[in-house]
């Protein structure tokens, strides 16, 4: 049974979209690695990139073209210098040349990237075709990739591309493919969900390395929150959306307890979510959790735990992220985390479910209560559409993360008030989400052709 790691669910990357930015950057790099692996890189004289489906509709607003250019030059979302991106892109477009893997300069004319708005490839709405040609115009190599959400990229047949490196074949000691199996294993071994997830992670790397890696993820989330609280200005794109987190941060710092307002903590949770997603919308460094469009929810709820739950500590943060990853893996295996495939229920809904379950665990919940919290988090996001105005990850995406964060905290509290017994299981709600996404019109699935994207009043 395939194991989806905590490091698969949480990946440090670049905004504004895991499926439209992180995925295309990785795919572009994989294509160039394939050219090198087949010893035809030096024959390449020109490259062409075609983006289909949702990538064709909203790729411009999501920076897919920028991501492709950087990926062709060998950049990785985790390490690319986000501050240098504008100058890099200007240099490529100005010279109409791109350096494949930084080793082979080839022609890259203005029409090298094609957005197919009315066509899609068969496997997934986020399809890409990369082609390289020699100096006589003959095809050297062609590859199709799909960005299937959360920065995951697969080959034309849905399998991982070999150029990305061999996948680990280590067998995990406690494999699970459903929420029911997860609970059975926890009860059988007396484990919390985070403990079970840690045991599986240890099949791939030493425990100390797992813990250090998870702490690194937590720190990357903290850094993103901090940057988002400090930066001001207008977000890129035609909507001219003003950053709000910095002003809210100054207001809350002036009165950190909110005076007599018993709900002041909600303002802080809103702030942390807004801060992350404004950074994401600006193309900054974020942690895919499980996607970029929903990247603010897990960090906001984790920060709530660290600052407002008694006895919170670093071990709790590790347990929080391991639990969230286990829940996210169930959605990845059994449904989707792609807004282009199932709507925003697969992004904000999944992130809300992950954060709710994680918070329930670190607040002392049993595995049954954790599963219940995760179910509540999704149950009340079913049918959530993905309708970004202008194809930008700004409206309604940024505020939607704040709403999802507060909802996750409430879901955890609801679950902890009970004994874990409930009518709808997590498996059932995941199956319902998948079916709802299949029934949803494509105009509500990250195409910017329906909902708010077409019904706003232009002033």
- Alpha-carbon distance of 81 to 19, in angstroms, equals 19
Neighbouring C-alpha atoms within 13 Å toward the C-beta of 248: 21
How many whole angstroms from its chain centre is CA 227? 19
User: At 8, which helix (H) or strand (E)?
Assistant: helix 6-9
Q: Report residue 338's pLDDT band, with 50, 70 and 90 as the boundaries.
A: very high
Task: Out of 57-66, 278-287, 375-384, pick the least confident.
Answer: 57-66
Which pLDDT band, with edges at 50, 70 and 90, does 381 fall under?
A: very high
Query: What's the chain's length in residues?
Result: 459
Calpha distance 324→370 (Å, rounded): 10
Residue of 317, 314, 412, 402 lying closest to 357 (CA atoms): 412
Please report which confidence band the pLDDT of residue 162 belongs to, taking 50, 70 and 90 as the band edges: low
Q: Residue 92: is its pLDDT beyond 80?
A: yes
Give 200-245 pLDDT, tens digit per residue.
999 999 999 999 999 999 999 999 999 999 999 999 998 999 999 9
Q: Read off the DSSP letter of residue 157.
A: T
Inter-axis angle of helices 207-230 and 245-254, nearest 10? 90
> Binning pLDDT at 50, 70 and 90, where does residue 459 land?
very low
Using one digit for the tens of pLDDT, what is the confidence trace for 11-64?
999 999 999 999 999 999 999 999 999 999 999 999 999 999 999 999 988 999
| C-alpha closest to that of 440 among 338, 325, 310, 298 | 338
DSSP assignment of 199-223, as one string? HHHTTTS-HHHHHHHHHHHHHHHHH
Distance CA(423)–CA(156), nearest Å, equals: 40
Residue 56 sits at the vertex; the CA angle it makes with 52 and 61, to the nearest 5 degrees, is 145
Q: 297-325 pLDDT, tens per residue?
A: 999 999 999 999 999 999 999 999 999 99
Quick one: pLDDT band at residue 458, thresholds 50, 70, 90?
A: very low
- CA gap 17, 149 in Å, rounded: 9
d(CA 51, CA 119): 9
pLDDT at 257: 79
Which distant-in-sequence residues (6+ apart) come within 8 Å of 208 by Cβ?
Answer: none
Max Cα–Cα distance, the chain, nearest Å: 75
Per-residue pLDDT for 168 more than 80?
no
Q: For residues 349-375, give the mean pLDDT.
A: 98
Cα torsion 297, 51, 158, 433: sign: positive
Separation CA 40–CA 16 (nearest Å): 33
């Amino acid at each position: 049974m395939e194991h989806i790691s905590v490091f698969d669910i949480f990946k440090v990357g670049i905004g504004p979209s895991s499926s439209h930015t992180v995925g295309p950057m990785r795919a572009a790099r994989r294509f160039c690695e394939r050219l090198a692996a087949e010893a035809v890189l030096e024959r390449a004289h020109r490259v062409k990139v075609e983006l289909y489906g949702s990538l064709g509709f909203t790729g411009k607003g999501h920076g897919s073209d920028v991501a492709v250019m950087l990926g062709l030059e060998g950049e990785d979302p985790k390490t690319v210098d986000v501050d240098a991106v504008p100058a890099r892109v200007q240099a490529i477009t100005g010279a109409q040349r791109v350096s494949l893997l930084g080793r082979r300069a080839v022609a890259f004319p203005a029409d090298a990237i094609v957005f197919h708005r009315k066509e899609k490839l068969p496997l997934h709405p986020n399809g890409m075709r990369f082609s390289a040609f020699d100096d006589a115009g003959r095809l050297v190599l062609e590859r199709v990739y799909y960005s299937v959400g959360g920065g995951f990229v697969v080959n034309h047949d849905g399998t991982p591309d070999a150029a990305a490196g061999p996948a680990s074949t280590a067998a995990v000691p406690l494999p699970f493919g459903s929420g029911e199996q997860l609970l059975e294993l926890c009860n059988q071994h007396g484990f919390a969900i985070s403990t079970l997830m840690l045991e599986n992670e240890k099949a791939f790397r030493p425990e100390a390395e797992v813990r250090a890696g998870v702490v690194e993820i937590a720190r990357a989330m903290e850094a993103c929150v901090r940057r988002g609280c400090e930066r001001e200005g207008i977000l890129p794109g035609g909507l001219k959306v003003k950053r709000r987190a910095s002003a809210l941060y100054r207001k809350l710092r002036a009165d950190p307890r909110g005076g007599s307002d018993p709900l002041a903590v909600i303002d802080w949770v809103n702030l942390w979510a807004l801060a992350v997603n404004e950074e994401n919308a600006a193309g900054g460094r974020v942690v895919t959790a499980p996607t970029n469009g929903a990247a603010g929810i897990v960090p906001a709820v984790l920060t709530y735990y660290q600052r407002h739950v008694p006895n919170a500590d670093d071990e709790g943060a590790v347990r929080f992220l391991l639990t969230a990853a286990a829940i996210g893996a169930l959605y990845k295996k059994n449904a989707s985390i792609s807004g282009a495939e199932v709507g925003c229920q697969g992004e904000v809904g999944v992130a809300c479910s992950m954060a709710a379950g994680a918070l329930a665990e670190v607040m002392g919940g049993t595995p049954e209560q954790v599963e219940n919290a995760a179910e509540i988090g999704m149950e009340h996001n079913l049918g959530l559409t993905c309708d970004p105005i202008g194809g930008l990850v700004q409206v309604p995406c940024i505020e939607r993360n704040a709403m999802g964060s507060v909802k996750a905290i409430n879901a955890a509290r609801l679950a902890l008030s009970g004994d874990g017994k409930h009518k709808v299981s997590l498996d059932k709600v995941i199956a319902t989400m998948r079916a709802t996404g299949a029934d949803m019109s494509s105009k509500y699935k990250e195409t910017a052709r329906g909902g708010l994207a077409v019904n706003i009043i232009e002033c």
